[in-house]
Structure formats: C-alpha cells, structure tokens
C-alpha cells in the first residue's frame, strides 16, 4: 500500500528534485552546474553564490535550494540564506518554522542564525 501525498508534499517533491529525485535529469543538471561552478576557479575555493532575478515566481528559491543540496551532498558545508524579506520561500520548501531568521539577526534579536 502506498502512502498518499498531500498537495504540499507534492510541490516540495517537485521543487526539491535534488533531494527527492536523485537520479532525475533535473538533478543531474544541478550537479553539472555545481561542478561547473567549482571548476570556474580551481585555485580558489568557492565561498559565496548568489541567485537573483528581476521577477517573482521565476524559480530563484528552487534553483538556490537545489544547488545548495547538491553542494551539501558532496560533504561541503553549505549555508542557504533566504534574504527575501517580503515573501520568504525557503522555510516552506524545507518545511521549517519561520519565526526567527535573517531579519531577527539583523535587528540584533539573536546572536546566531
């Protein structure tokens, strides 16, 4: 008997392909992007990647999340920060609470994120 997914779980599964569909062509594309980014400057460690775009709903959070997942799956320390103050999305994708975050840290309400 298979467990039925609710709509929220299906959306997360569709967007986080690197986590839920490890052998899919989309996941392989994210691994290729990761590898290309790593080899852009082989003599210097890649420390920061910023994903940005000019419009809402074009997939910035999806791309950033899947890239972060592919980097973390190689054993690299990975920190993914949602800096969208008006419409944060990462907590929804990863099913996490959103009561403290970057704005709390910037306001001095907490010492660490």
**pTM of the model as a whole:** 0.80
**Are the C-beta atoms of residues 66 and 16 closer than 8 Å to each other?**
yes
Percent of the chain with pLDDT over 90: 45
Query: In this model, does residue 6 exceed pLDDT 80?
Result: no
Crossing angle for the helix pair 60-72 and 25-39, nearest 10 degrees?
70
Write the secondary structure of the chain as one string of H (helix), E (strand) and C (coil): CCCCCCHHHHHHHHHCHHHHCCCCHHHHHHHHHHHHHHHCCCCCCCCCCCCCCCCCCCCHHHHHHHHHHHHHCCCCCCCCCCCCCCCCCHHHHCCCCCCCCHHHHHCCCCCCC
Q: 71 pLDDT exceeds 90?
A: yes
Position 2 scores a pLDDT of 46
pLDDT tier at 111, thresholds 50, 70, 90: low
Percent of the chain with pLDDT strictly greater than 70: 86
Distance CA 50, CA 13 (A): 23
Q: How confident is the model at residue 28 (pLDDT cuts 50, 70, 90)?
A: very high
Residue 109 has pLDDT above 70, yes or no: yes
């Amino acid at each position: 008997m298979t467990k039925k997914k609710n709509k929220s779980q299906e959306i997360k599964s569709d967007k986080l392909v690197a986590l839920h569909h490890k052998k899919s062509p989309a996941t392989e594309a994210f691994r290729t992007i990761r590898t290309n980014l790593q080899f852009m400057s082989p003599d210097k460690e890649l420390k920061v990647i910023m994903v940005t775009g000019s419009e809402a709903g074009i997939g910035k959070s999806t791309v950033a999340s899947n890239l972060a997942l592919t980097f973390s799956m190689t054993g690299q320390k990975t920190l993914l920060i949602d800096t969208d103050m008006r419409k944060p999305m990462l907590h929804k994708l990863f099913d996490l609470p959103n009561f403290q975050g970057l704005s709390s840290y910037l306001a001095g309400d907490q010492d660490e994120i």
